[in-house]
Amino acid sequence: MALWAYALRTVAAAKTALNITGANIDGVVEAAVNEASQLVEGAWGREIVSRGSVVEFYTFTSVYEDPARAYGAGTLLTVGTDYIVSQPASSAEGKIIRVASSLPQAWATGWRAVKVTGLFGFKDTAGVVSTAQDVHPVILDVFDDLTAWIVRHRTKGEAGTDSATDAMGTRTLWAGPPMVTEGMKTRLSAAGALSPSLRGVYGERDA
């Protein structure tokens, strides 16, 4: 088995975070890192670690406007002149606004008339995507909890627990085999509100 290309930590980093020494369970840790990374990403419903440059239609960064869909150099728009990027501080999602003479203008109509390429997602474990941000610490906290749970389950057969707070107060719940719990989902949701470095869910993705 090899470390997943989009793992949230290396094996060494995971062992440091979980205070694991020695190499006797490295294979278990690697498998746990792979599983936890994919579970967290799946629970969040979006790519966390950047896959590099991607092409999307009707999203956000380098922008072409071309109803003929040739996307040549002459249809590449200039940020600040042809469009502006707007991202309110209270939102994790931005949008592009077509402008002319600094005034809003309608986008060209037609199927795939607007093409956008950009870099989305957090930096990978090797730092290859150097311009991306580091993975958000809240995401890593959830990942570390889940990785530790998977390691304990595979080495000691331990089941995990989760907490719930409602009108009945705060209580500990048995959660069974490793999974992304409701508490983890709540923490991931909070991280999503703080993190603009994510690929959105708009348009059609080509790569």
Note the pLDDT tens digit of each residue in 152-179: 888 887 666 666 676 767 766 555 678 8
| In-domain check, residue 58 | yes
**Phi/psi at 78 (5° precision):** -105, 125
Q: Please tell me whether residues 26 and 88 are part of one structural domain.
A: no
Domain boundary among the residues 119, 143, 165 is at 119
Residue 153 is predicted with a pLDDT of: 87
Q: Please tell me whether residues 88 and 127 are part of one structural domain.
A: no
Residue 128 is predicted with a pLDDT of: 64
Q: Tell me the pTM.
A: 0.63
Q: Please tell me whether residues 138 and 181 are part of one structural domain.
A: yes
> Does residue 197 carry a pLDDT above 80?
no
Total domains, the chain: 2
Contact yes or no for 146/184 (Cβ under 8 A): yes
| In-domain check, residue 103 | yes
> Does residue 55 carry a pLDDT above 50?
no
Residue 59 is predicted with a pLDDT of: 37
> Does residue 127 carry a pLDDT above 50?
yes
> Does residue 204 carry a pLDDT above 70?
no
Burial of 117 (0-12, 13-18, 19+ CB in 10 A): middle
Domain boundary among the residues 97, 119, 141 is at 119
Query: In the predicted model, what is the mean pLDDT of residues 19-48?
Result: 91
Q: Could you tell me the residue range of the domain that residue 156 belongs to?
A: 11-50+122-194
Contact yes or no for 45/38 (Cβ under 8 A): no
Of residues 124 and 146, which shows the higher confidence score? Answer: 146
* Greatest mean pLDDT range, 71-75, 83-87, 203-207: 71-75
Of residues 196 and 83, which shows the higher confidence score? Answer: 83
**Mean pLDDT for the chain overall:** 79
Of residues 153 and 95, which shows the higher confidence score? Answer: 153
| In-domain check, residue 57 | yes
Residue 200 is predicted with a pLDDT of: 46
Q: Please tell me whether residues 126 and 115 are part of one structural domain.
A: no
Going 158 to 188 to 18 to 162, the CA torsion angle's sign is negative
Q: Please tell me whether residues 46 and 57 are part of one structural domain.
A: no
| In-domain check, residue 87 | yes
Residue 57 is predicted with a pLDDT of: 43
Q: Please tell me whether residues 84 and 165 are part of one structural domain.
A: no
